[in-house]
């Protein structure tokens, strides 16, 4: 039970006035921006990432984690009140959440989503605290070959689980890997793909890449659109479920939490998959499946709990293995690297205060969301009524100020503008940019581990297949790829992601 003592120490780090204020600021800002339809956690973190540059690493990650939870919570608010998912995990919530709102039970739907998310977040926090130490010890025994194969598995899983076509997902992963090669070769010291530019010697700036692809790309894609937001009429009342709704919701919360905690570990979008899967399971288990789609409380409780549990458990491979399971976790790894923290199993030993402080702050952040957001529903409703043409100029200015503050230079702004056009192009082509971010993060790491493995084996490439763990990981990756290429599974996969 050593982890309980470590968790108590984490609360000592997290429960300081400075860190609580930063966590509060994170969840509030995250909700305020995440509540806007179509923005979501990735864009929100990309916009607000520069705010953390001047902070200590622990405080910066606590704030970023708060932004993540807040943006996810905002996504469910938008799904229920406007029938527009703030992010992919909230797509299923639209079905029964908005139906409940149209039936005059918007307050109850919001409360069910908030309480289910809080319970799932609590379980997810305990999972991270309980399982991470053991997984970290296992990871310390990994060699270069094992880490290379683990990165390959992560990228293959990202291709398999990304929304859209497989070929497009593969293209985005490959593009990210190539972009990660820009800069100085760490082994030979030679410049690669810099085209003589001094600005590219250190590689592409992660913040400029993320903000350009997600924030600027989203602005360009949506600036000319007229969003038809069918708001729920009247005031949101009765911010608490009645006895019947609570009785129907709590078993769904338990099942959704259990499913999301497991599926959230999968690389490539387990949180999204868990919300779809939990909704399907609840509909099959229900004695009145005909109520689903017409305002069933279980149809809100299950996907929101599963989505939040999956989002929490996604931190486990990110913190212990340095393997991002989705775009948001890739963003968190980028933030850690900005603060000179190498993600992986040594985080728990070299940065114990950071690790356990971040874990403890997750529970605090989820609690703050419940406490502050339900009373602020009226504010979020008014914010949703603002036309996007009023909002995007302020978001654009705020983003450029943050980019300029990186090194007091216009270079990151120019770089982000270029990636913004690229993000818009990807949007028009129907390509999801999140796999690109995974490739950008994992690509250089794969190269380092591959070179180390080949140096130790004196150039013998069969070393990746003679090490048992490496062989098992590569075999799993191959099975995943072959299975998803089968016509039946590919058709099912397209049906699942059609609403994304």
Q: pLDDT tens-digit profile of 77-105?
A: 777 877 666 666 676 788 888 888 888 78
In a domain, 339, yes or no: yes
Six token digits for residue 2:
């050593």
CA distance 50 to 412: 11
DSSP type of residue 199: G
Q: Which residues of the chain have pLDDT under 50?
A: 496-500
Element at 275 (helix H, strand E): helix 270-285
Query: Which DSSP letter does residue 416 get?
Result: H
Q: What's the token pair of residue 192?
A: 């690669």
444 located within any domain:
no
Full DSSP string of 420-465: HHHHHHHHHHT--SHHHHHHHHHHHHHHHHHHHHHHHTTT-TTHHH
| Within-domain flag for 357 | yes
The Cβ of residue 289 has, within 10 Å, a number of other Cβ atoms equal to 12
Q: Whole-angstrom distance between the N-terminal and C-terminal Cα of the chain?
A: 42
Residue pair 36/383 in contact by the 8 Å Cβ criterion = yes
Phi, psi of 227 (to 5 degrees): -80, 125
Which of 114, 451, 83 minimizes the C-alpha distance to 249? 114
Q: Quickly list DSSP for 219-262.
A: HHHHTT------PPPS-----S--HHHHHHHHHHHHHHHHHHHH
Classify residue 168: in a domain, yes or no. Answer: no
User: CA angle 269-275-359, nearest 5°?
Assistant: 65
Of 208, 120, 175, 154, residue with least CA distance to 399: 208
- Virtual CA dihedral for 432, 433, 439, 441, nearest 10 degrees? -140
Residue 55 CB contacts under 8 Å (≥ 6 apart), including other chains: 22, 63
Rounded distance, CA 154 to CA 159, Å?
9
3-state secondary structure of 192: strand
Q: Evaluate whether residue 153 is within a structural domain.
A: no
- pLDDT for 374 equals 72
Does residue 433 fall inside a structural domain? no
Angle at the Cα of 311 from the Cα atoms of 232 and 428, rounded to 5 degrees: 65
CA 311, CA 260: separation in Å to the nearest integer? 8
Contacts of 380 (CB under 8 A, 6+ apart): 31, 32, 35, 74, 77, 81, 373
Which of 462, 360, 445, 458 has its CA nearest to residue 142? Answer: 445
Residue 103, token pair as written in the block? 């039936």
CA-to-CA distance for 13 and 353, rounded, in angstroms? 7
The Cα–Cα gap between 133 and 352 comes to 11
Domain count, the chain: 1
Residues 278 and 274: their CA atoms lie apart, in Å, by: 6
What pLDDT is stored for residue 304 in this prediction? 87
* Cα dihedral 100/102/103/104 (nearest 10): 90
Residue 446 CA, chain-centre distance (Å), reads: 21
E strands of 101-193, at which residues? Answer: 183-184, 191-192
Domain of 298, in residue numbers = 2-143+211-426
Instruction: Measure Cα distances from 59 to 65, 171, 329, 349, 363 in Å.
Output: 10, 36, 17, 18, 15
The residue written with tokens 């598995």 in the block is 153
Give pLDDT, residue 498.
46
Asked if residue 450 belongs to a domain, the reply is no
Do the beta carbons of residue 357 and residue 57 sit within 8 Å? no
d(CA 272, CA 24): 26
Pairing type for strands 183-184 and 191-192 reads antiparallel
Q: Render pLDDT for 456-479 as a digit per residue (tens, 0 to 9).
A: 888 888 899 988 888 998 998 888
Nearest-CA neighbor of 76 among 109, 124, 28, 52? Answer: 109
Taking the C-alpha atoms of residue 423 and residue 219, their distance in angstroms, rounded to an integer, is 10
Residue 332's nearest CA partner among 20, 73, 95, 49 is 49
Q: In this structure, is residue 88 part of a structural domain?
A: yes
pTM of the model: 0.74
């Amino acid at each position: 039970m050593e982890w309980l003592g470590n968790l108590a120490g984490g609360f000592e780090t997290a429960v300081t006035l400075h860190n609580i204020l930063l966590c509060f600021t994170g969840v509030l800002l995250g909700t305020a921006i995440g509540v806007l339809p179509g923005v979501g956690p990735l864009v929100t973190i990309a916009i607000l990432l520069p705010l953390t540059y001047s902070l200590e690493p622990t405080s910066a990650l606590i704030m970023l984690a708060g932004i993540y939870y807040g943006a996810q919570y905002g996504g469910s608010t938008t799904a229920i009140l406007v029938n527009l998912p703030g992010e992919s995990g909230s797509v299923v919530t639209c079905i029964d959440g908005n139906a409940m709102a149209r039936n005059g039970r918007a307050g109850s739907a919001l409360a069910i989503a908030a309480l289910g998310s809080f319970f799932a977040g609590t379980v997810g926090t305990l999972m991270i605290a309980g399982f991470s130490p053991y997984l970290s010890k296992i990871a310390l025994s990994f060699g270069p070959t094992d880490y290379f194969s683990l990165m390959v598995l992560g990228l293959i899983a990202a291709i398999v689980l990304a929304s859209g076509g497989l070929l497009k997902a593969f293209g985005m992963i490959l593009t990210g890997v190539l972009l990660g090669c820009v800069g100085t070769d760490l082994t030979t010291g030679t410049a690669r793909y810099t085209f003589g530019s001094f600005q590219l010697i250190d590689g592409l700036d992660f913040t400029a890449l993320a903000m350009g692809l997600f924030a600027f790309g989203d602005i360009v894609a949506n600036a000319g659109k007229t969003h038809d937001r069918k708001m729920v009429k009247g005031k949101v009342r009765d911010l608490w479920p009645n006895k019947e709704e609570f009785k129907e919701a709590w078993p769904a919360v338990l099942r959704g939490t259990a499913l999301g905690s497991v599926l959230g570990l999968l690389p490539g979008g387990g949180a999204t998959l868990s919300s779809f899967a939990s909704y399907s399971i609840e509909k099959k288990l229900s004695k009145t499946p005909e109520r689903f789609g017409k305002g069933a409380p279980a149809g809100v409780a299950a996907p929101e709990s599963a989505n939040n549990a999956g989002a929490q458990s996604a931190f486990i491979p990110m913190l212990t293995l340095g393997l991002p399971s989705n775009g948001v976790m890739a963003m968190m790894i980028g933030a850690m690297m900005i603060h000179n923290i190498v993600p992986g199993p040594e985080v728990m030993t070299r940065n114990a205060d950071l690790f356990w402080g971040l874990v403890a702050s997750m529970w605090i952040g989820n609690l703050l969301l419940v406490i502050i957001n339900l009373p602020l529903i009226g504010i979020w409703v008014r914010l949703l009524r603002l036309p996007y043409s009023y909002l995007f100029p302020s978001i654009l200015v705020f983003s450029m100020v943050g980019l300029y503050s990186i090194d007091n230079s216009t270079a990151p702004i120019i770089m982000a503008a270029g990636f913004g056009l690229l993000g818009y192009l990807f949007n028009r082509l129907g390509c999801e940019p999140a796999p690109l971010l995974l490739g950008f993060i994992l690509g250089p790491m794969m190269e380092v581990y591959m070179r180390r493995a080949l140096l130790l084996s004196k150039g013998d490439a069969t070393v990746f297949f003679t090490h048992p763990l490496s062989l098992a990981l590569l075999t799993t990756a191959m099975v995943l790829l072959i299975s998803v290429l089968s016509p039946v599974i590919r058709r099912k996969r397209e049906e699942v992601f059609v609403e994304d």
